[in-house]
Amino acid sequence: MTAVVWQVAQIVLVAALAPLATGYVRFVKARLQGRRGAPPWQPYRDLLRLLKKEAIVAPTASWLFRAAPYVTFAAVWLAACVVPTFTTAIALAPAADLIALVALLGLARFWTALAGMDVGTAFGGLGSSREMLIASLAEPAMLMMTFSLSLVAGTTQPAQIAAFILGGNIGVEVSLGLALAALVMVAIAENGRIPIDNPATHLELTMVHEAMVLEYSGRHLAMMEAAAMLRLTLFMALISCLFFPFGMALPGAGAVAALVGLAAFLAKVAALGTALAVFETMIAKMRVFRYADFLGGALLLGLLATIFLYVSEAV
Amino acid sequence: MLIAAPLVALPALALFAVVARRAAWSHAIVYGGCFLAAVALLAGGLDQLGGAAPVGVTLPFGLPWLHAHFRVDNLSALFLVIVNIAAAAASAFAVGYGPHLPDQRRVTPFFPLFLFGMNAVLVADDAFMFLVSWEFMSLSSWLLVLSDHTRPENRKAGMVYLTMAVFGTFCLLPAFGLLAGPGGDFTFAAMRMKELAPASGFLVILLALLGAGSKAGLVPLHAWLPLAHPAAPSHVSALMSGVMTKVALYGLIRILFDLHGEVGWQWGAAMMVVGGVTAVMGVLYAVMQDDLKVLLAYSTVENIGVVVIGLGLAVAFKDNGQPALAALALVAGLYHALNHSVFKSLLFLGAGAVTSATGERALGALGGLLKRLPWTGAAFLVGAAAISALPPLNGFVSEWLILQSLFKGPTLPHWAMKFGVPVVGALLALAAALAAACFVRAYGIAFLGRPRTPAAAGAEEAAVTFGMRAAMVALAVLCVGLGAMPVTMTNALSAVVRPLTGIEVPVSADLGWPWLSPTGPSSGSYSGTILVAMGLLLCGLAVMLVHRLGTRALRVSPAWDCGHAEDIPQTQYTGHSFAQPMRRAFAATVFRARETVEMPEPGDDSPARHRVSMIDPVWDGLYRGLARLVDLLADQVNRMQFLTVRRYLLMMFATLVVWLLVVAVRQQL
């Protein structure tokens, strides 16, 4: 029963926290670049403003264009529900493992990419095509990372992996480091951050995610933006759950432990957000056709993580 | 009874189609009859799958000393279900689709024969009946490929298909011969009892892989498939791609897991490598095609690769004494075979509906069809999402099962497997991700955006008749059902693999009905049912919140497109431009894709050109070489036609001497 309560809490938490996390990253980035920047809670205002504006739809668009924002948002939200944040005792944890998580994000991407092509404009197609190229390398990289984690922890379930690492069954391992590197690279690509994509770009030819949602406005755009924010929070939660689950409440722990877990989660999100802002400030965006090198690297890191496991076993 | 009666009825329908070929209504009778026969066979298969003991019958025809043996066990029953789901849908579709064909009298008589051939392979219980039915299936589908023989590319497809079909049987014939042994007892029951010498065992497996693999479309034996499958009318393509490849896999499973039984893990490793390469190559070809049906055919190659990865893994686990994992891998492979037959039939039928509404099948000539063909568009969308392995549809469940069993691959003791399994896993993941790209491209170009030609703009749902719509919608519903409620099917499948691996795998383990947790709840679980329920709940919640917090106002206004919006539909992304990043990233080495841009000088008003050149490594590397070799040998042999009588006599004498020497040497040994 408590699992259901924690689950509901998590569903609300991720949705409520996502704009703040994104706003925080923007805020830190602005400060690093010598600007004052909007306050971290600005995204809430933006979303609310978009919701209140009328939506504009091209006459060439079909029903898919209007359904896609909701499907995308729901798929990412669902994915964010199953990754433990403050406690591993959530009711939905067994419903989807890491493989299903990758696929749920794939579902969101499938709809967004289709929506990009629905109006029949050049930029939409451009964005969809590049997004699918990124995905075709990022998804295998993430599955390889899952593979090495499942070899270490004997499970593909994020909650179980967190519990395994919290149980102190494992020291610092080379392959865990490689898997973490792979996951971080995938996270950068999946969230359309620099150096793969620039979420703040205003130059259409460099867009990927923004190009796909170019035709959206009003509440539809709000849903697409909210889905992007939720995805960023999801990946932060995933990185902290799989590699830094410290402070997370385990099944059977009381409300105090959950509060400690919540505080730890917020601290982790802040730390990861700061790291992301620093990284993005330091690095320049790369050319489109270098993506394959970057993400191919992530795929190889994931593979190496598995191979290194055998090596460390054999030694 | 449910199986025997329709099997007799199908050839009768073919005869009827020939007799009544001039009557305008004959096709409706024939396809209607095929539909009923397929439904009866489906019911028979499901009934048998329910757990009844194998049923066998021996009939007094065929070879005089052998008779004809038929038997339906769980494996046959499963494949009867796989074949006849698609066959029923294709028949229902064809009732409305048949009159669209250029010359349907070349199709109706052979369609029932094709169904008969495929079903007869599944129930055959001796090598003779198996091979005769196999050839029946090959030749009737060959005739269907040639039904539109006025197009030269179809004639070429027919030629290549016939060659490869002959090659396949040429391999299977000695495989069964070796299985039967020198005694020549060709019943499957006798083959199961037999112990094979290592050398002949090796040959049997190799020949089975070559023979069944060429029919299923394993790289590099796939070359005929993307030529032949699209050449046939769409409802036949659906069966050839969705189902005939599965009959080939049935043959492979029957030999490797049932008749032979002792297959070394090295074969499993080889199958996994071939499967992985097939999956990636197939989808890479598919992502660059412009013809919708060719694209679907290449994607079949990919999916066969995925199934063969599962089968190879099962072989390796079985040989290593891990029957539970072998059963899991086999269940995963069989589930993917079932799923692929459902969504690939759906997609081919969708392509048929598109062709009958627009007369086009090139992506570059389509566009905006979702608004014009709402039923076809919605059904095709479900199929596209299912084949892209997206939850909560069926394609994802089988990929999930295959990945779960693959993740247990490192428990195998062999170092080659330990290192090979992650690589195959990476190939599988790459294939799945590229499949999503491939189908976003296919769907986005054909069904979304603005129509690129008047033909696409004038498409009307009226051309898609009720039967066609019903067939597509039924298959789409099945895609959702098999995905959202997989446990019912996995339990049936684990009963199928029990006799093959000696163990029943509790796929839903300890968690109960809606949960898949094949290796125990703590090591990975999935519940499509719960994800669907939660997804709908969250989606509804999002819609409600948005409409509560915001406005519902909506304005229809021209597209923004950064201010560049133009009315010309050619400004949209095309299939070629969509594939360009993939082509650059993946095809530059494998297919040696090269792009050249010709820009005219300023002032020169000739058009700018962008050319892409690509090679097909399999055709250029393997088949052209083989064809040259055959030509060369034929030229050499040709010389023998022009010898003098003296030389012919000399040759006969020399032959005699050589044979006598052979006999003498053999007696000495």
Per-residue pLDDT tens digits for B622-631: 888 888 999 9
The upper half-sphere exposure of residue B552, i.e. CA atoms within 13 Å in the direction of its Cβ, equals 5
CA-CA distances (angstroms) from residue B102 to B87, B151, B327? 22, 11, 47
Q: What is the pLDDT of residue B323?
A: 87
Q: Which residues of chain A have pLDDT under 70?
A: 171-172, 202, 204-205, 314-315
* pLDDT tens digits for range B450-502: 999 999 988 888 888 888 999 999 999 999 999 988 888 888 888 888 888 87
- ipTM of this predicted structure: 0.95
Alpha carbon distance B496, B516 (integer Å): 17
d(CA B202, CA B184): 19
Amino acid (1-letter code) at residue B140:
S
DSSP states along B292-305:
HHHHHHHHHHHHHH
What percent of chain A is helix, strand and coil (3-state, nearest 5)?
A: 75, 0, 25
Cβ separation of B556 and A58 shorter than 8 Å? yes
> What is the tens place of the pLDDT at every residue in B111-144?
999 999 999 999 999 899 999 999 999 999 999 9
CA distance A49 to A1: 38
Which 3 state secondary structure label does DSSP give B68? strand
A204 interaction partners in chain B (CB closer than 8 Å)? 562
B460: exposed, middle or buried (Cβ count in 10 Å: 0-12, 13-18, 19+): exposed
Angstrom distance (rounded) from CA A104 to CA B531: 10
Instruction: Please name the residue of chain B whose CA is at the shortest distance from the CA of residue A116.
Output: B444
Confidence band for B507, pLDDT divided at 50, 70 and 90: low
pLDDT, average across residues B174-200 = 85
SS3 B72: strand
8-state DSSP, A83: S
pLDDT band at B58 (very low <50, low <70, confident <90, very high): confident
Task: Write down the mean pLDDT value for chain B.
Answer: 89
Mutate to test the interface with B, among A56, A63, A99, A286 (most CBs of B within 10 A): A99
Using 50, 70 and 90 to split pLDDT, how confident is the model at B506? low
| Whether A140 and B419 lie within 8 Å, measured CB to CB | no
* pLDDT for residue B497: 86
Residue B98 confidence (pLDDT) above 70: no
Enter the DSSP assignment of B220: T
CA distance B68 to chain A (A): 47
SS3 state of residue B453: coil
Alpha-carbon distance of B230 to B484, in angstroms, equals: 31
B543 touches chain A (CB under 8 A): yes
Closest CA to B549 of A4, A51, A302: A51
* Most distant CA pair in chain B, distance: 102
Residue of B387, B430, B448, B543 to mutate for A, most A C-beta atoms under 10 A? B448
pLDDT value of residue B308: 96
Residue B266 binned pLDDT confidence (cut-offs 50, 70, 90): very high
Q: Which two tokens stand for residue A298?
A: 């992530």
* pLDDT tens-digit series, residues B346-392: 999 999 999 989 988 899 999 999 999 999 999 999 999 999 999 88
Asked whether the beta carbons of B303 and B344 are under 8 A apart, the reply is yes
Q: Nearest Cβ partner of B422 from A54, A139, A303?
A: A303
In order, the DSSP letters of A255-305 are HHHHHHHHHHHHHHHHHHHHHHHHHHHH-PPPPGGGHHHHHHHHHHHHHHH
- Please state the length of chain B: 669
Q: What are the backbone dihedrals phi and psi of residue B665, each rounded to the nearest 5 degrees, phi first? A: -65, -40
Q: How are beta strands B594-598 and B609-613 bridged, if at all?
A: antiparallel
Bridge partners, residue B68, by sequence:
B59
Average pLDDT over residues B552-560: 88
Partner residue facing B581 (CB), from A129, A147, A215: A129
Look at residue B438 and tell me whether its pLDDT is greater than 80: yes
Q: Which tokens is A53 given?
A: 């504006």
One-letter identity of residue B131: L
Quick one: how far is CA A163 from the chain centroid? 21
CB contact under 8 A, B400 and A118: no
Preferred mutation among A12, A129, A164 to probe B, highest tally of B CBs within 10 A: A129
How distant is the Cα of B510 from the closest Cα of chain A, in angstroms? 12
Of A136, A147, A302, the CB nearest to B582: A136
Q: Is the pLDDT of residue B636 over 60?
A: yes
Paired tokens of B47? 């009934």
Q: How much is the pLDDT for A171?
A: 67
Predicted pLDDT of residue B27: 83
**Who's near B399: CB < 8 A, 6+ residues apart?**
B306, B336, B389, B428, B432
Calculate helix-pair angle for B575-582, B265-287, nearest 10 degrees.
140
Enter the tokens of residue A129.
Answer: 């095509």
The three-state secondary structure class of B195 is coil
Say how far apart CA A235 and CA A187 lie, in whole Å.
6
Residue A144 is nearest to which of B400, B425, B551, comparing CB atoms?
A: B425
The predicted-structure confidence for B387-419, as pLDDT tens digits, reads as follows 999 988 999 999 999 999 999 888 888 888 888
The chain B residue lying nearest A71, using CA atoms, is: B539
CB contact under 8 A, A95 and B525: yes
Task: Using a CB–CB cutoff of 8 Å, tell me whether B242 touches chain A.
Answer: no
Q: Counting one residue from A and one from B, how many pairs have CB atoms under 8 Å apart?
A: 286
Helix (H) / strand (E) element for B610: namely strand B609-613
B549 CA to chain A: closest CA distance, Å? 7
Q: What is the pLDDT of residues B569-599, one digit of tens each?
A: 888 888 888 998 888 888 888 888 888 888 8
Among A120-129, B61-70, B329-338, where is mean pLDDT lowest?
A: B61-70
Cβ contact (<8 Å) for B582 and A77?
no
Q: Is B234 on the interface with A (CB under 8 A)?
A: no
Q: How far apart are CA A162 and CA A88, in angstroms?
A: 7
Q: Which residues contact B589 (CB under 8 A, 6 or more apart)?
A: none
* Nearest Cα residue in chain B from A296: B585
Nearest chain A residue to B401 by CA distance is A99
**Nearest beta carbon to residue A48 from set B377, B522, B549:** B549
Q: Beta-carbon neighbour count of residue B53 at 10 Å?
A: 8
Contacts of A114 (CB under 8 A, 6+ apart): A64, A68, A128, B440, B443, B444, B448
Q: Kindly identify which residue of chain A lies nearest to residue B450, measuring between CA atoms.
A: A120
Higher pLDDT, B68 or A231: A231
pLDDT (0 to 100) of residue B100: 66
B391 and A104 within 8 Å at the Cβ level: the answer is: yes
Q: What is the three-class DSSP state of B232?
A: coil
